Amino acid sequence: MKYKDEVKELGKERLLTFYRKMVEIRSFEERIRFLFLEGKMPGTIHQYIGMEACAVGVCSALEKDDVIASTHRPHGHAIARGLSFNELMAELYGKTTGCCKGKGGSMHLGNLEKGMLPAIAIVGGNLPIVVGMGLSFKLRKQKRVAVSFFGDGASNEGSFHESLNMAAVYNVPSVFVCENNLYGASTNIGKMLKIKNIADRAQSYGIEGMIADGMDVIDVYFNAKKVIDKARKGGGPTLLELKTFRFCGHSRRDPCNYIPKEEKEFWAKKDPIGSFKKTLLKENIVDVSDFEKIDIQIEKELDEAILFAQESPDPRPEDTFEDLYVSMEVPR
């Protein structure tokens, strides 16, 4: 842990909030994985296990009015941004009480009132939108920041190039957070990229590129805070690369046979929750019972959310026709 003094400076309450948020994500993902494998939950899922420090570190550095945009793997971002278990779980079940009334599902979780655009499940698709959000803040002279989360694979999309260049040219308060988990579905990014750091691409747009340890919530938080505050003050966009890893498959029942055992073991030692716990205990900031209290409470909240989702009403089939246009009925 590189930030010994800063950790103490954050204070116990803040640090335990980081812990709570990361465990919320981990426990949520583990519970729905079980429900999905049991066949109780419809659709497909892309999980965030292992990457919790990224979402929590970045979202903890945001103000209430800021906005994030996510990807096909959005559960962690949604929880970190403050969407409730109930609205998320119900959405995964396709219920009317979900954050998108059952029209979005796992890949489109979001609630703009809480600062999260419905997730954009096309790789690289959210980057230009985040440029536009930043542009609107600039035109309206609002002190707000827009953050794009995307993966290593998205950095090879044309939209990445267009967006970073446009954001740089307009100097908008948009921050581009690349969660480099090393794999785009089953493909190692090393096979698809000749450079080592995606952050290095920033210099070709004339903006700052930074790298943080995506397995360390404190490192993510301080780096994110720096670039988000800079954007808010008119300092323009930054490309922030978080070196991370997913401890789960790309989607559904993927056993990750394409990842060498040694690589999995190497990253398992960096578990963002386990290592954070160790640090807090070592520094005598908290004791084990603090963690336990939080863990128990989260499990209880998840029980309630699952029950809420399962008991919530299904939409009517004909609700398909609702919610497309503001000022016209869908022609039939």
Partner 1 sequence: MILSIAEALRKAINEEMERDVDVFHIGEDIGIEGGFGGAFTVTLGLEKNFRDRIIDTPISEIAIFGAACGAAVMGMRPIADVQYGDFLFCAMDQIVNQIAKLRYMSGGKLKVPIVMRAPVGVTGRGSQHAQNMEPYFINCPGIKIVAPSTAYDAYGLLKTAVRDDDPVLMFEHKLLYGSKGMRKEEGAIDASSDIPDEDYTIPIGKAVTRKEGKDATIVSHLLMVYHSLLAAKALEKEGISCEVIDLRSLWPLDIEHIVDSVKKTGRLIIVEESPKQGGIGAEISAQISEIIPDYLLCPIIRIAAPNTPAPFSPVMEKFYIPQPERIKREVKRVIEEY
Name the site residues for partner 1 (rule: CB under 8 A). 67, 98-104, 108, 110-113, 117-118, 120, 122, 125, 127-137, 139-140, 146, 158-159, 162-163, 165-166, 169-170, 322-328, 330-331
- Taking the complex as a whole, how short is the minimal distance between the CB of residue 129 and partner 1, in angstroms? 4
Q: Which is nearer to partner 1, 103 or 226 (CB)?
A: 103
Beta bridge partners of 204: none
Q: Which is nearer to partner 1, 258 or 321 (CB)?
A: 321
Nearer to partner 1, 45 or 130 (CB): 130
- SS3 state of residue 178: strand
Looking at beta carbons only, is 157 or 301 nearer to partner 1?
A: 157
Neighbours of 215 (CB within 10 A): 25
Angle at 74 (CA atoms; ends 111, 27), nearest 5 degrees: 105
Residue 134: CB minimum distance to partner 1, A: 7
Percent of residues in the chain assigned helix, strand, coil, to nearest 5: 50, 10, 40
Is the Cβ of residue 283 or residue 314 nearer to partner 1 in the bound state? 314
Nearer to partner 1, 89 or 248 (CB): 89
Query: Vertex 124, ends 19 and 84: CA angle to 5°?
Result: 35
User: In the complex, what is the shortest distance from the CB of residue 252 to partner 1, in angstroms, rounded to a whole number?
Assistant: 21
Our CB check for partner 1 shows the closer of 94 and 249 to be: 94
Whether the CB-CB separation of 29 and 47 falls below 8 Å is answered with: yes
**Residue 111 phi/psi, 5° resolution?**
-160, 100
How far is Cα 72 from Cα 147, in angstroms, rounded to an integer?
A: 16
- Residue 157 structure tokens: 């999309």
Report the residue number, 63 or 287, with the smaller CB distance to partner 1: 63
Please, which residue, 20 or 77, has the CB nearer to partner 1? 77
Q: Which own/partner pairs from 223-230 qualify as long-range (CB within 8 Å, at least 24 positions apart)? A: 223/57, 224/57, 224/58, 224/60, 224/61, 224/175, 224/177, 225/61, 227/175, 228/58, 228/61, 228/62, 228/66, 228/145, 228/147, 228/175, 229/61
3-state class of 332 per DSSP?
A: coil
Q: Distance (Å, rounded) from C-alpha 67 to C-alpha 180?
A: 21
CB of 145 to partner 1, least distance (A): 12
Q: How far is the CB of 161 from partner 1 (least distance, A)?
A: 8
Q: Which residues contact 241 (CB under 8 A, 6 or more apart)?
A: 178, 180, 197, 198, 199, 209, 210, 211, 212
Length reported for the chain: 332
Q: 40: which residues sit within 8 A by CB, 6+ positions away? A: 310
